[in-house]
Amino acid sequence: MLSAAGIGAGDEVIVPAFGNVEVAEAVKAAGAMPVFADIDPVTYCLSAASVEAAVTFRTAALIVVHRFGRSADIPGLREVGRRHELLILEQGESETPYDEVARRRAHAAYLNGRLRGVHTPDGGGEHTYQQYIVRVPGNGRPDRDAFARALRSRGVECRVPVKTPVHRMPGFRRDIRLPETELASDETLALPVDASLTKREMHRVVSACNALGGLLQPAF
């Protein structure tokens, strides 16, 4: 799509560093230069303010990636694109049947009301919970990785959604600071929220997390 739009050598394309490296690789494959902007800490998608700050006279496009079932701030990003005459490309997530989304939302509501010691997600009206992302604060005590290991030892599957932000990877390393991206990479953890989970399985998630919650800061 970038190549078809005439974007290539000498152009810059703004992309998120929080997420998969494939987006930056696509920009590089088109001959353009990926430029990394920070995320909104609630949606984990590109921040319009950070995109605005990253625009230069070489910027030709930005790629918006919707994450974890939350949509990016499309009105704000489109306004930035309009002011600077940028091409905006969106990478969405797979469509999920309505009944499955409803069950995921019900599971998320259950977790939101019972989890302690982790920061639960701000759902928002449109959240489809493709993934249920919590934050595990470090505060000098057991960190996210230790918390995840402890959960797995209690039979709860969990995973780190983004282990290394792209601007810290070989081949894309930049001498920049993206504080929200870096903090999210250190703190986020995906807990089970699949529509197929039983009440007993959901209770196990809560029990395992809350058993460890005393080691962490209270949830906000």
Q: What is residue 213's predicted lDDT score, i.e. its pLDDT? A: 66
Q: Is the pLDDT of residue 214 over 70?
A: no
Q: What is residue 123's predicted lDDT score, i.e. its pLDDT? A: 76
Under DSSP, is residue 119 helix (H, G, I), strand (E, B) or coil? strand
Q: What is residue 142's predicted lDDT score, i.e. its pLDDT? A: 54
Q: What is residue 137's predicted lDDT score, i.e. its pLDDT? A: 81
The predicted-structure confidence for 95-145, as pLDDT tens digits, reads as follows 889 999 999 999 999 999 999 889 999 877 689 999 999 999 865 555 899
Q: Is the pLDDT of residue 179 over 60?
A: yes
Radius of gyration of the chain (CA): 19
Dist CA 15 CA 37 (whole Å):
6
Yes or no: say if 190 and 161 are a contact pair by the CB < 8 Å rule. Answer: yes
DSSP of 50-70: HHHHH--TTEEEEEEE-BTTB
Q: Is the pLDDT of residue 63 over 70?
A: yes
The arithmetic mean of pLDDT across residues 189-213, rounded, is: 93
Work out the pLDDT band at 170, boundaries 50, 70, 90: very high
Closest CA to 194 of 90, 111, 120, 119: 111
Work out the pLDDT band at 217, boundaries 50, 70, 90: very low
Q: What is residue 83's predicted lDDT score, i.e. its pLDDT? A: 97
User: In angstroms, how far apart are the furthest CA atoms of the chain?
Assistant: 56
Q: What is residue 139's predicted lDDT score, i.e. its pLDDT? A: 56
Q: What is residue 3's predicted lDDT score, i.e. its pLDDT? A: 92
Q: What is the pTM of this model?
A: 0.91
The predicted-structure confidence for 70-91, as pLDDT tens digits, reads as follows 999 999 999 999 999 999 999 9
Q: What is residue 219's predicted lDDT score, i.e. its pLDDT? A: 41
Dist CA 220 CA 208 (whole Å):
19
Dist CA 59 CA 64 (whole Å):
14
Closest CA to 103 of 198, 177, 15, 18: 198
Closest CA to 61 of 97, 86, 40: 86
Q: What is the mean pLDDT of the chain?
A: 92
Closest CA to 64 of 122, 124, 32, 19: 19
Q: What is residue 218's predicted lDDT score, i.e. its pLDDT? A: 44
Q: What is residue 141's predicted lDDT score, i.e. its pLDDT? A: 53
